[in-house]
Chain A
Amino acid sequence: MAAPTGKRKRDDSDDGSEDEGAVRARFQRAFEAKFKPLDVRKPSPSPELIVDDIEDDEDEEDLETSDWEGLSDDDGAVEVVELAVFPSHDASAIEREKKAFMSSRPPTLEGSAVRQPATTKEVAADDTEEKANLQHDLALQRLLKESHLLDPNSSTRSNINVEGRGRLKALDLRLKDLGAKAPVSTQEKMPLAHRKGITAKVVGREGKRRQEAAESGIVLEKAKFATKFSKPREKAIAGPMVGKFKGGTLSLGKQDLRTIQGPKQRGRGGRRGGKR
């Protein structure tokens, strides 16, 4: 349970109030000799001093208006106030605890291990500098990687941040670095005429390059011809496992025969033509 945290009365025992008054007066005179005269309020005849357990940082004007009059009349007895502090359960803490408690794992015996967020306050000072450095690094890396996009004869650009088509290309490159398969900018759907035009253009460009190379005597890599069928054709569902079934007859090709019979077995060395 909470410790009784009520108001605390300070006991006011005025033992040495006589000589204390004299000392106080002397101090006041000394002070006034140096500075402006003080406007002294008489202490109330029975000072009912109430001090809160938890004293807030009061403003100066509060101090002026409050009836606090110094650590004067305590007779040295220290009153200890125990303040029971319960962990403040703010919404996020409750949410976290709920997550921990309602998960499928048994809640840990040590209680909710409250994860403290990594202390970032100390590094906050040179954080901005770090950030700037990192950003510069990134910009440099990108510039090195994508500098070919800044080819001056492709268009007029001098900015690091490429724009327009170049920007899309740069984006594609970055995505490819991150592991993307197909570029984002390729259009999946388009009219057939467009598609044909594009492929024709690509083929034409390649042909032109080869022709120019041949004319100037440059040896290029071997031309790759696209295979007609990349995958083996799917067989009909009820079709035969081997061969073709057509017109009521199953015809087996050479390849089929080979797959059935397996590779030809040759005897080792002699015995050729011997009895089998």
Chain B
Amino acid sequence: MAAPTSAPQTLKFTGSKYLIQRLVLATLTGRAIRVSQIRASSHTSPGLAAHEVSFLRLLESITNGSHIEFSYTGTTLLYKPGLITGAATGHGLTTGGAIRHELPADCTRSASYFLIPLCLLAPFSKAQMNVLLTGPGVITSATETGDVSVDTIRTAILPLFKSFGIERNLELRILRRSNAGRDGKGGGGEVQLVFDHQVRLPKTIHLLDAGRIKRVRGVAYSTGVAGANNARLIEAARGVLNDLVPDTYIFSDISSAPLVAGLEKNNPGAKRKTGLGFGLSLVAESNTNMLYSADIASLPAGGEAPEDLGRKCAYQLLESIEAGGCASGVAATSVLTLMAMGSEDVGRITLSKDVVGSEQVVQLARDLRGFGMSGWGMREDDDGEIVVSIVGKGVGNVGRKIA
């Protein structure tokens, strides 16, 4: 690995997978990275995809002094991170203190694709993080591409920051809901993330007891379709869950379809409806305040009954609970990254074997190693789960250190 000199070497990665994770780690640790062969073998769409480019733009707007270079085809990327400034006044495109970020219409990922990394960067930012995601590409629901809905971020991921001592003034405002548009591309939603608790270093955590489930909460949402879909989703999900957890409540949120610019040549002012559909986000909470979540949304093509989706979502939640551990697969990478950024102390967390063995967590461990973080210690506990011990590197908030 690179010696701790004044100008550490550029880290080299290949492939488009885990690009976001690497960009986040690069920004947090301040190491420059070069990613090559991004979809180099694809003939139809080589190089960076729309959502990846959009994320890079977002990174640029929340940092100061970062340097991004693409190759001509977009298959190679050089990223030199700057300081995370957040929504500092006088910096970037700010309207009312919020950084306005427009997502392109051909974005296939949910807003959570942008929000989860933002939440990882935000605690280490210099000023508060206040980002408004808007434009014709914001999908607030879960998507086919495997992203969770923004409700899940708010109810299942943001509460986790509390155990790291990050809890004040966290807000995720869902200003307008939208499912994925036609072909799963684009939507017309609007989400604002306000993250106003910056820390020098996240606290060391010791989460060992997953506890037992005490309640289940959820949000059923429908945009631009009949509210009866919500009722049917809720009915089906409760049909599965009620016998197991009597304290189950699923709230319903019905909204009209968002309008986006029609992009017609002969009528440029025209608007069209987009992002019709419905979905369900479930969160189970244990008596030790561990959270498990499940998400499902209607397919853009339609053709699946709300009852089926509701039941599927409930089973998905049960699977997540069955896997156990103190962090579900959705939240594991965020929690582990924050632990690695923590103070130079051993933090411990119990995770299920499925989660630890998942591709994403393994890759995260490797990437962290690559960025000069310490390795993880693992041991099996009595329940057949894995206790992961991570020594923080005290990287934390570089901006704070300087300022």
Contact = CB atoms under 8 A, between A and B. Distances in A.
Contacts of B162: 109
B174 A104 contact: yes
A183 interface: no
B159 A111 contact: no
A101 B251 contact: yes
Given A107-B155, A109-B289, A111-B285, A98 B251 contact: yes
A122 B316 CA distance: 50
Interface in B263-312: 285, 289
B249 interface: yes
A87 B249 CA distance: 13
A1 B248 CA distance: 12
B385 to A, nearest CB: 21
A86 B159 contact: no
B217 interface: yes
**Chain B facing A: main interface SS:** strand
A2 B285 CA distance: 19
A94 interface: yes
Given A1-B246, A109-B289, A110-B289, A104 B172 contact: yes
Interface residues of B, number: 22
Interface string B18-52: 00000000000000000000000000000000000
B158 interface: yes
B169 to A, nearest CB: 9
B172 A94 contact: no
A1 B244 CA distance: 7
A172 interface: no
A264 to B, nearest CB: 42
Interface in A97-121: 97-98, 101-102, 104-111
Contacts, number: 45
A212 B268 CA distance: 78
A97 B249 CA distance: 10
Interface string A45-87: 0000000000000000000000000000000000000000011
Interface in B138-181: 154-155, 158-159, 162, 170-174
B247 A105 contact: no
B253 A105 contact: no
Nearest to A97: B249
B171 A105 contact: yes
A98 B220 CA distance: 12
A106 B154 contact: yes
Contacts of A111: 215, 285
Contacts of A86: 246-247
Contacts of A110: 289
Contact of B253 (A87, A89, A102, A108): A102
Contacts of A107: 154-155, 159, 217
B155 A106 contact: yes
Given A107-B217, A110-B289, A111-B215, A102 B159 contact: no
B219 interface: yes
Interface of B: 154-155, 158-159, 162, 170-174, 215, 217, 219, 243-244, 246-247, 249, 251, 253, 285, 289
6 contacts: A1-B246, A86-B246, A102-B219, A105-B154, A105-B171, A107-B159
Q: Nearest 10 pairs between A and B by C-beta? A: A106-B158, A104-B173, A109-B289, A104-B171, A106-B159, A109-B159, A98-B251, A106-B154, A105-B171, A102-B251
